[in-house]
Structure 1
Amino acid sequence: MVKQSIVALAEHLTRSTRSIPAFKTTYKNMLKDPSKKYKPFIAPHLTERKWPNNRITKAPRWLSTDLRDGNQSLPDPMSVDQKKEYFQKLVSMGFKEIEVAFPSASQTDFDFTRYAVENCPDDVTIQALVQSREHLIKRTVEALSGAKRATIHTYLATSDMFREIVFNMSQEEAIVKAVEATKLVRKLTKDDPKQSATRWSYEFSPECFSDTPTDFAVAICEAVKNAWEPTVENPIIFNLPATIEVATPNIYADQIEYFSNHITEREKICISTHVHNDRGCAVAATELGLLAGADRVEGCIFGNGERTGNVDIVTVGLNMYTQGVPPNLDFSDMNAIKEIVERCNKIPVPQRAPYGGDLVVSAFSGSHQDAIKKGFALREKNKAQGIKDERWRIPYLPLDPKDIGRDYEAVIRVNSQSGKGGAAWVILRSLGLDLPRPMQIEFSNVVQTNADKLGRELKAEEITNVLKEHYNYNNEFANTIELIDYDVQKFGTERRILKANVKVNGKEQNIEGTGNGPISSLVDAVSKLLNCRFAVSNYTEHSLGSGSTTQAASYVNLTYKRESDNEKCYKWGIGVAEDVSDSSVRAIFSAVNNAIRSGEVSVN
């Protein structure tokens, strides 16, 4: 019989699966064999690379290019007033090098460059980008004249594809053009006695370095260096940009290390990275570039930039910070930084953006919430015991939110997926109540039901209101039986007798009960009053607050049998008072009134 049933079930399943359409992967637009169209990048040959064993131990020189590269990528570029506000924010964050504009491109950019020159602190270098053309270089020098510290940044595309397709230029012609531009900049800046009040620096970018034969990148930069004649005190900046990410970050690191090892007079050179995010690896490529010998990082706050964006300086900087390395940039008010960036760029910061996104310090998953809650609980326990440990060790949170100006209220957020730890955390942070574990489990189900009903996460205020109403917090929501006063006296060596005056539906009544303590005596008195035998199955208490404002919080779980079917039931109650005895009494009445409100216990 069993065998026949199994056979019948198998036949039924076979018939059922025949009705399910077969799905086949089709390549409508994508190629099954992309190697016919796309070729892997050929990396430089390194036999003894050193960067994999290196560590980032200090902050690089930072250059913000938000106002130039970032601004030119915006569908709606910043107004002059917005650029001024943004510039001041960058200065206050600690940026010492800021690329402010492309002053030869428009009068607006020229005027803003003049504003930056005239309002820049003496220790901040103003940088401007310019193409390798004589009239544009002269206009850029004019815009920067009078600055305390200024950098002229020229560039020339050096990859084979750009030279051949865009410029129809040989490698030799490219070197000649780069040297000519360099000599002109030198003539108009550091060699001009009229410009002696400014500390002039020079930056050259072999644009599309990531897609340039590395030997050629070294050769053109060597020629530019010889034309500029840098010093150890004022090195030339060679920006080696991944203008387009064409390979994995490790290959970019190989390119940087190869360049660093083969360029001469390395002590007179500052190697800078400028990584775009075409492959989504800008942060990784930048960090590996630093391991490979780069000295400087160009990027934007939150990674705005052409196409897929520039490297996110917030992420690179705070990655260092969480490894114990000071980034030398101030991210302590992340919300204010984010507000300015979003308002001026008119582009929202993604909610999951590392460090700055609204949700990155928030946990919805029950297991995550439980681990975070335990981490904070251990910190509080160690603090109470006088154990000093300054290390930040909280599961799932590599950065203390307070270090970037955020509070702990948003760390755990509660929706229908959240576990017991999530709701308990919110209650602990909002009301100071450390719910007993069995109560946490029950309350999480109550919260999940409410979240499911609303179809969204619950705010902290909503969660606290749910707790107060569901558990009849301090008898504020159900008060059929109201305590007026009570007195407990000894009865023999181990017994207590409690006499109390209560109101039942507004009418005063005296009750009396005995037990081995105040709680059991009160439970006995209420049991007699309602003709329902209550018993305490769980009792917990803890202090609430500190100093002169300390109160006691008590949690009581009463069991009883339902009148209608004699089934065993239970109800939790919460009481808070200055005295622990009063808080215990309040918790008992909270639970009893909750039982009456549920209809499981009646009042005669």
Structure 2
Amino acid sequence: MEKRRIQIFDTTLRDGEQVPGCKLNTKEKVIIAKKLELLGVDVIEAGFPTSSPGDFQSVQEICKSVSNTIICALSRAVDKDIETAGLSLQSAKRPRIHTGIGTSNCHIRYKFNSTPEKIIERAIHAVKYAKKFVEDVEFYAEDAGRTENIFLAKVCENVIKYGATVINIPDTTGYCLPEEYGNKIRFLKENVKGIHKIILSTHCHNDLGLATANSLTGIMYGANQVECTINGIGERAGNTSLEEIVMIIKQNSHLNLFTNINTKLIASISNLVSECTGMKVQANKAIVGINAFSHSSGIHQDGIIKKRETYESINPKDVGIDKSSIILTARSGRSALAYRYKKLGYFLNQNALDLVYSIFLKYADKKKEITDMELKTILKKANLNKEKNNQVLHTNNTNSNNIRINVV
């Protein structure tokens, strides 16, 4: 069976930047956009041009700096928004306007004080007006997660009729369960006339920690584009994490899916986005957290040393990280201690290791982590090169970085 390509729509520079306290200037946005193109994303949502002169300028500069990737600008279903988005994209080689409107009962009644019929009229008008500026128009049905499927299908069918090339089905409040969201995508695939002509897209928020799961279920039920951000940053609890959805697809070949992402660049762009936005990556964040490939439990460390796959489903090199880390704590065992000493150039036989390990545990009980400097201090404490208890402990010096410790 031929694999199906999933397009990656990155909205780090738009939805991602909406995090309180996160502000990127034009220079930083251009740098990140260039890295996203190298990463292999299919679409970069460069900003919301009507929101500020600075955002308008950023979209313009990104259009001039990116050669092959689709550049997308967000707008509401408002003529002025759409016109501004179109103007900002004039230098783009492959421009896209992303326009739309809320479709849930909650949005229709309380946000717009409107009716379903008028919402459809506004949706149609927005798509028709956007087509005057670009050929590629993506329509978002905001709060689709809480929109009744029959009405959502009606909206989709109408915007397809008037030229939408992509339809985005956002779970705006992170409300849906994976099966519920997947069934919504399947319902649209089976009930919307012309749906086969367009790209169906997921855009899931992480309010309940289900953004990645919902996006995955969405593409398994027929969506061909995932909207996501580097490090999962975004409004409130964030968006679907690019690195998570991409690596899930890469590691699970039985899904018969693939992306064009060069996964070996993931760690570097994660660090870049974290540095530019000031948003630190939580230590236990999947794929890119500092602890994602770190091991402190003795049982895990022993397994990793013997064969990496025993406790890692992902090779760290696949995401641009050199190697796994063995972190020495009070939970570490002898094999991890010997491994770390070997990395420092010290080779301990069993008797020497037992002696050093007993001293190590006393240090480790007082500290969260034992450093390389402290490992050398522990060796001195053990007095391995002096006569002790009627045993002669000596070192075989081959060079300063390769010391074999024996007990005779």
What TM-score do the two structures reach when normalised by structure 2? 0.91
Q: Counterpart of 1:189?
A: 133
- Asked if the contact 1:128/1:152 (under 8 Å) is kept, the reply is yes
Relative to structure 1, the CA distance from residue 248 to residue 175 in structure 2 (aligned partners, 3 Å threshold; closer, same or farther) is: same
Relative to structure 1, the CA distance from residue 133 to residue 261 in structure 2 (aligned partners, 3 Å threshold; closer, same or farther) is: same
Q: Counterpart of 1:286?
A: 215
AA in 1 matched with 2:343: R
- Asked if the contact 1:365/1:418 (under 8 Å) is kept, the reply is yes
Q: Which whole-Å CA distance do the structure 1 matches of 2:86 and 2:101 have between them? A: 18
Q: Which whole-Å CA distance do the structure 1 matches of 2:305 and 2:86 have between them? A: 57
* CA deviation string 1:374-397 (max 9, x = no partner): 215xxxxxxxxxxxxxxxxx2111
User: Structure 1 stretches of 5 or more lacking a match?
Assistant: 1-54, 191-199, 231-235, 377-393, 481-557, 561-569, 592-604
The count of residues paired between Structure 1 and Structure 2 equals: 402
Of 270, 275, 286, 1:338 maps to 270
Relative to structure 1, the CA distance from residue 257 to residue 56 in structure 2 (aligned partners, 3 Å threshold; closer, same or farther) is: farther
- Asked if the contact 2:188/2:195 (under 8 Å) is kept, the reply is no
AA in 2 matched with 1:219: K
Q: Which whole-Å CA distance do the structure 1 matches of 2:394 and 2:252 have between them? A: 46
Q: Counterpart of 2:313?
A: 398
Structure number with larger C-alpha Rg: 1
AA in 2 matched with 1:167: F
Pick 1 or 2: higher relative contact order, CA cutoff 8 A, min separation 6: 2
Other structure's SS at 1:305 match: coil
Q: Which whole-Å CA distance do the structure 2 matches of 1:441 and 1:255 have between them? A: 60
AA in 2 matched with 1:189: F
Q: Does 1:161 align with 2:93?
A: no
Q: Does 1:443 align with 2:264?
A: no
Q: Which whole-Å CA distance do the structure 2 matches of 1:143 and 1:172 have between them? A: 31
Q: Which whole-Å CA distance do the structure 2 matches of 1:94 and 1:452 have between them? A: 46
Relative to structure 1, the CA distance from residue 400 to residue 571 in structure 2 (aligned partners, 3 Å threshold; closer, same or farther) is: farther
* CA deviation string 1:445-481 (max 9, x = no partner): 321211224x220123432442365252xx3xx4x7x
Q: Which whole-Å CA distance do the structure 2 matches of 1:115 and 1:75 have between them? A: 23
Task: Give the C-alpha shift of residue 124 in structure 1.
Answer: 1.2
Q: Does 1:456 align with 2:401?
A: no
Relative to structure 1, the CA distance from residue 439 to residue 252 in structure 2 (aligned partners, 3 Å threshold; closer, same or farther) is: farther
Relative to structure 1, the CA distance from residue 56 to residue 64 in structure 2 (aligned partners, 3 Å threshold; closer, same or farther) is: farther
- Asked if the contact 1:114/1:143 (under 8 Å) is kept, the reply is yes
Q: Does 1:466 align with 2:378?
A: yes
Q: Counterpart of 2:297?
A: 365
- Asked if the contact 2:144/2:170 (under 8 Å) is kept, the reply is yes
Relative to structure 1, the CA distance from residue 64 to residue 156 in structure 2 (aligned partners, 3 Å threshold; closer, same or farther) is: same
Relative to structure 1, the CA distance from residue 271 to residue 419 in structure 2 (aligned partners, 3 Å threshold; closer, same or farther) is: same
Of 215, 226, 244, 2:150 maps to 215
Task: Within 5 Å, give how 1:104-503 maps onto structure 2.
Answer: 104-121=50-67, 123-186=68-131, 188-189=132-133, 200-228=135-163, 236-324=165-253, 327-375=259-307, 394-408=309-323, 411-431=325-345, 433=347, 435-436=348-349, 439-453=352-366, 455-467=367-379, 470=382, 472=384, 475=385, 478=386
Q: Counterpart of 1:89?
A: 35
- Asked if the contact 1:240/1:272 (under 8 Å) is kept, the reply is yes
Q: Which whole-Å CA distance do the structure 2 matches of 1:97 and 1:426 have between them? A: 43
Task: Give the C-alpha shift of residue 257 in structure 1.
Answer: 0.9
Other structure's SS at 1:397 match: coil
Q: Which whole-Å CA distance do the structure 2 matches of 1:420 and 1:59 have between them? A: 46
* CA deviation string 1:567-596 (max 9, x = no partner): xxx776553449xxxx99x845xx6xxxxx
User: Structure 2 stretches of 5 or more lacking a match?
Assistant: none
Other structure's SS at 1:114 match: helix
CA RMSD of aligned residues (A): 2.5
- Asked if the contact 1:318/1:327 (under 8 Å) is kept, the reply is no
AA in 2 matched with 1:304: I
Other structure's SS at 2:307 match: helix
Relative to structure 1, the CA distance from residue 208 to residue 399 in structure 2 (aligned partners, 3 Å threshold; closer, same or farther) is: same
- Asked if the contact 2:356/2:378 (under 8 Å) is kept, the reply is no
Q: Which whole-Å CA distance do the structure 2 matches of 1:354 and 1:471 have between them? A: 42
Other structure's SS at 1:311 match: coil
Task: Give the C-alpha shift of residue 360 in structure 1.
Answer: 1.3
Q: Which whole-Å CA distance do the structure 2 matches of 1:174 and 1:120 have between them? A: 35
Relative to structure 1, the CA distance from residue 56 to residue 301 in structure 2 (aligned partners, 3 Å threshold; closer, same or farther) is: farther
What TM-score do the two structures reach when normalised by structure 1? 0.63
Q: Which whole-Å CA distance do the structure 1 matches of 2:333 and 2:393 have between them? A: 19
Q: Which whole-Å CA distance do the structure 1 matches of 2:40 and 2:299 have between them? A: 39
Q: Which whole-Å CA distance do the structure 2 matches of 1:167 and 1:416 have between them? A: 59
Relative to structure 1, the CA distance from residue 128 to residue 117 in structure 2 (aligned partners, 3 Å threshold; closer, same or farther) is: same
Task: Give the C-alpha shift of residue 444 in structure 1.
Answer: 3.0
- Asked if the contact 1:100/1:116 (under 8 Å) is kept, the reply is yes
Relative to structure 1, the CA distance from residue 268 to residue 107 in structure 2 (aligned partners, 3 Å threshold; closer, same or farther) is: same
Q: Which segment is superposed worse, 342-351 or 418-427?
A: 418-427
Q: Which whole-Å CA distance do the structure 2 matches of 1:253 and 1:134 have between them? A: 33
Task: Give the C-alpha shift of residue 321 in structure 1.
Answer: 2.3
* CA deviation string 1:249-283 (max 9, x = no partner): 11111111111111122321101000000110111
Relative to structure 1, the CA distance from residue 415 to residue 86 in structure 2 (aligned partners, 3 Å threshold; closer, same or farther) is: same
Q: Does 1:98 align with 2:44?
A: yes
- Asked if the contact 1:152/1:201 (under 8 Å) is kept, the reply is yes
The percentage of counterpart residues that share the same residue type is 27
AA in 2 matched with 1:185: A
Task: Within 5 Å, give how 1:443-592 maps onto structure 2.
Answer: 443-453=356-366, 455-467=367-379, 470=382, 472=384, 475=385, 478=386, 560=390, 574-577=395-398, 587=406
AA in 2 matched with 1:133: V
Relative to structure 1, the CA distance from residue 141 to residue 294 in structure 2 (aligned partners, 3 Å threshold; closer, same or farther) is: same
* CA deviation string 1:389-408 (max 9, x = no partner): xxxxx211111222333233
